[in-house]
Amino acid sequence: MSEFNLKDYKISDTITAIATAPSKAALGVVKISGKKSLSILDKIFVPKNKKDIKKVKNFTLHYGWIINSPKSKVQSLKSERIVDEVLVSIMKAPHSYTTEDVVEVSSHGGVLVLNQIVELILKKGARLAKPGEFSYRALINGRIDLLQAEAILKLVEAKTPKAVLLSSRQLKGENSKKLKDLKKDLKNIFIQTEAAINFPEEDISFDKTNLRKSLEKALKKVKRLQKSQGPADVLTQGLRCVICGRSNAGKSTLFNRLLRQERVIVSKVPGTTRDVIEESINIKGIPVKIYDTAGILEPEDFITRKALQKTNQVFNQADLVILLFDGSKKLSKDDKFLLDKTKDKNTILVINKTDLPEKIKFGQKDIDQHKFIRMSALKDNDLKRFEKMVYKAVYRKGIDKKDLIFLNQYQKKELDNLAESLSNTKEYLKKDYTLDFVNFSLKDSLESIGKITGEIIGEEILENIFSNFCIGK
């Protein structure tokens, strides 16, 4: 994250940046956006067909060379003047991502080559783009709204195909439309209240039942969006899933199996794992952060005490707990303690070591309360059944819903404000308050929607979103 300062994002400047990852690669792209894009390109680019690059048609591709000496002096294309052989794409205003003149130079992907091209562009009058500045311009120039800007972030960060699908839907504008429709409905009601307040002599009749119904509908929609925040976070940040259980239950064995590699040490000595180990996996399209923990519940030294502390920490933040039991042993004191500790958590109980004779017995209460699965982490050939159960445990939280919406923390806060002002309006109508109250709270609702979509933009929101972008986006 970098410091955001609105003053650094001057919209009249022509900006440039490397858009691709700065590493050795087959190709790299340098972008330029702004009024001077084409004239700058003209000074450093020699097209093979000798056309005037400033006058070419929109959306055309040009083959040629980036050169590092003043073009007027170039008689023939001498190799020492050539920086790279490139393809240049031209996107003229307003038909570009930023709605300004945009040039993209595709060169070979060496870090030095790309830096040299950027240096040349800077020398000819552009400045280096700030993080997210291309997207910032797209937003300011009305090409995208704040929901779409957030979707770009989520798309770039997506860890699973599902997150890609949902963020590209939001980028397409599906969620923007939902909020626009909502705004339209509320605005209708708002206008009616305005008319009734401003022209009392007209005696504008007001169908309160209908109004209440519309509000009810709007509130329902908002609540659905609020509910989708949990699953949306899971999809973007990953489900935090912690494996707990007494020593030797087979936690590390299961952890390794889920990762499909020998990541941690497994042994028959109790207390093998003495730390919390985190890895990322993908279960049926859900990114899962999985934690192996220490099974020691009564620490004896600094290390085990620290391990228990860390286990408690990840346990408290977990979205899902996998509580593992050694099925070949009787229920122990530690098992009972952990059962009690997980009673308010989203938990899957795993009776492990089913390849051995089963000795464990649970009370009816535990059986009623939790989901069980019997398995052998060591011997089972496929873990599909287990993974399905993990998926289902999250599925209940609505992860499979098609109308998830990705918001940043400020938009989330505004969504909560929106829900609150809508229920206030409902309440005012129900209690027959004067129309001024209804009118005021509707105004609040409309303002919240404007802040979510970016129609009303505060510096705080801009800071929150654009400091998370990378340079060149």
Write the binding mask 229 to 248 for ligand GTP: x where contact by CB under 6 A, - elsewhere.
Answer: ----------------x-xx
| Interface region with Mg ion, contact rule CB under 5 A, candidates 4-12, 128-136, 154-162, 272-280 | 272-280
Write the binding mask 37 to 76 for ligand GTP: x where contact by CB under 6 A, - elsewhere.
Answer: ----------------------------------------
Measured from the CB atom, is 57 or 268 closer to ligand GTP? 268
Q: Does 272 bind Mg ion (CB under 5 A)?
A: yes
CB-based contacts of 467: which residues, under 8 Å, 6+ apart?
Answer: 1, 2, 3, 4, 131, 132
Dist. CA 152–CA 167, nearest whole Å: 7
State which of residues 250, 287, 454, 472 lies at the interface with ligand GTP (CB under 6 A).
250
Measured from the CB atom, is 273 or 425 closer to Mg ion? 273
Report in angstroms how near the CB of residue 287 gets to ligand GTP at its nearest.
Answer: 23
Query: End-to-end distance of the chain based on CA atoms, in angstroms?
Result: 14
Measured from the CB atom, is 138 or 249 closer to Mg ion? 249
Q: Does 472 bind ligand GTP (CB under 6 A)?
A: no
Measured from the CB atom, is 104 or 292 closer to Mg ion? 292
State which of residues 107, 160, 228, 252 lies at the interface with Mg ion (CB under 5 A).
252
State which of residues 118, 120, 149, 266 lies at the interface with ligand GTP (CB under 6 A).
266
State which of residues 109, 132, 287, 295 lies at the interface with ligand GTP (CB under 6 A).
295
Measured from the CB atom, is 188 or 267 closer to Mg ion? 267
Nearest Cα to Cα of residue 154 among 353, 344, 411, 369? 411
Give the pair of three-digit tokens for residue 223. 């609540």
Sheet of strand 320-326, all strands in order from the earlier edge strand to the far edge? 277-283, 286-292, 239-245, 320-326, 347-352, 371-374
Q: Does 135 bind ligand GTP (CB under 6 A)?
A: no
Provide the phi-psi class of 252: left if phi over 0, else alpha when psi is between -120 and 50, else beta: alpha
Give the pair of three-digit tokens for residue 358. 């089963």
Write the binding mask 324 to 363 for ligand GTP: x where contact by CB under 6 A, - elsewhere.
Answer: ----------------------------xx-xx-------
Report in angstroms how near the CB of residue 381 gets to Mg ion at its nearest.
Answer: 22
Dist. CA 341–CA 336, nearest whole Å: 9
Report in angstroms how near the CB of residue 343 gets to ligand GTP at its nearest.
Answer: 21
Dist. CA 55–CA 70, nearest whole Å: 20
Report in angstroms how near the CB of residue 341 gets to Mg ion at its nearest.
Answer: 18
Is the CB of residue 14 less than 8 Å from the CB of residue 37? yes
Write the binding mask 365 to 394 for ligand GTP: x where contact by CB under 6 A, - elsewhere.
Answer: -----------xxxx---------------
Measured from the CB atom, is 18 or 350 closer to Mg ion? 350
Is the CB of residue 41 less than 8 Å from the CB of residue 32? yes
Q: Pick one of Mg ion, ligand GTP, none as the site partner of residue 248 (Cβ within 5 to 8 A by kind).
A: ligand GTP
Report in angstroms how near the CB of residue 245 gets to ligand GTP at its nearest.
Answer: 6
Give the pair of three-digit tokens for residue 118. 């950027």
Report in angstroms how near the CB of residue 378 gets to Mg ion at its nearest.
Answer: 13
Dist. CA 241–CA 278, nearest whole Å: 10
Give the pair of three-digit tokens for residue 137. 């311009």
Q: CA torsion 188→194→199→203, rounded to 10°?
A: 50
Sheet of strand 82-91, all strands in order from the earlier edge strand to the far edge? 45-47, 60-67, 82-91, 102-108, 27-33, 15-18, 127-128
What distance lies between CA 22 and its chain's CA centroid? 23
| Interface region with Mg ion, contact rule CB under 5 A, candidates 11-19, 151-159, 266-274, 424-432 | 266-274
State which of residues 135, 228, 273, 342 lies at the interface with Mg ion (CB under 5 A).
273
Total residues interacting with Mg ion, rule: CB under 5 A: 4
Report in angstroms how near the CB of residue 319 gets to ligand GTP at its nearest.
Answer: 21
Report in angstroms how near the CB of residue 243 gets to Mg ion at its nearest.
Answer: 9
Nearest Cα to Cα of residue 260 among 242, 240, 280? 280
Q: Does 253 bind ligand GTP (CB under 6 A)?
A: yes
Total residues interacting with ligand GTP, rule: CB under 6 A: 25
Dist. CA 35–CA 273, nearest whole Å: 60
Dist. CA 193–CA 471, nearest whole Å: 46
**How far, CA to CA in Å, does 7 sit from each of 62, 149, 223, 261, 410?**
35, 20, 37, 50, 21
Q: Which residues bind Mg ion (CB under 5 A)?
A: 251-252, 272-273
Q: Which residues bind ligand GTP (CB under 6 A)?
A: 245, 247-253, 266-268, 270-273, 294-295, 352-353, 355-356, 376-379
